[in-house]
Amino acid sequence: MSTKQRNAVTISGAMDGRPMLFAHGYGCDQNMWRFVTPAFQDTHRIVLFDHVGNGKSDLSAYRDARHGTLAGYAEDVLEILREHDLRDVIFVGHSVSSMIGVLAANREPDRFGGIVMVGPSPRYIDDQSAGYVGGFERSDIEQMLESLDSNYLGWSSAMAPVIMGNPERPELGEELTNSFCRTDPAIAKKFAKVTFLSDNREDLPKLRVRSLILQCSDDVIAPDVVGEYVHKHTPDSTFTALNATGHCPNLSAPEETVDAIKAWL
């Protein structure tokens, strides 16, 4: 199966420009980048895709053995790059896709020119033995996964607005809720476990391409201390604190997000 079918890959923009590949976060799809990508259309080749189980991806391509870890999703990304012969790629990953990008770049660094991490977290669960703060107790994550497993649509309606933040703009939370609800529930439940139980702290120091970390305030998924940890433990990284709040600045503050990426580029 081609990646165009499996991951609904779309390519646009300047075909002779430097490639930029945008990877969406949990419960989202490539549509979440629609306010960001136009700013790069004239200068870059824009590559968008959906992780298997999301958007217009081919659900039949999901494999427990492959997609039971973030490494499997990273391999999907690498197959997209190989199939379309993309090199010197600027990978822009939101949330969990930040770590997927790190894993992919660590495996084939020659294909990457840089990584932008939007609201990254290498581990969501606190690790008191190592003095690491991820923002959640293990019991919090287990309770969340249990709630998600028993009533995915109810969980989506309750959690999406919290994740989005910006309560004064309820239409943003509604959009994220609708996106969650469009995701295949069976795959979404599995991807949630892969995401929220992941631990990629040891992968950060291995990154050999330069990176930009974009951190929002009042982010319940990836609080400030997490973004600072990523910056501290990632070589050749730049940390930018945005004025944006919540976890999805690609929707809530696209102009600021674009400006930060352009300044880094």
Class of domain 3-122+200-264: alpha beta
Is 67 designated active site?
no
Domain ranges of the chain: 3-122+200-264
pTM attached to this predicted model: 0.96
Residues near 190 by beta carbon (within 8 Å), at least 6 away in sequence: 64, 67, 68
Res 34: pLDDT: 95
Is 95 designated active site?
yes
Res 239: pLDDT: 98
Res 57: pLDDT: 96
* Catalytic position from the list 95, 97, 98, 211: 95
The side-by-side arrangement of strands in the sheet containing 237-245 is: 10-13, 44-48, 18-23, 89-94, 112-118, 211-217, 237-245
Res 225: pLDDT: 97
Positions of the chain with pLDDT under 70: none
Distance CA(159)–CA(144), nearest Å, equals 10
Q: pLDDT tens, 125-182?
A: 999 999 999 999 999 999 999 998 999 888 888 888 889 989 899 899 898 888 887 8
The residues that bridge with 44 in the sheet, in sequence order, are: 18
CA nearest neighbour of 98 among 200, 250, 180, 249: 200
* Catalytic position from the list 29, 76, 247, 252: 247
Distance CA(181)–CA(56), nearest Å, equals 14
Res 159: pLDDT: 86
Is 42 designated active site?
no
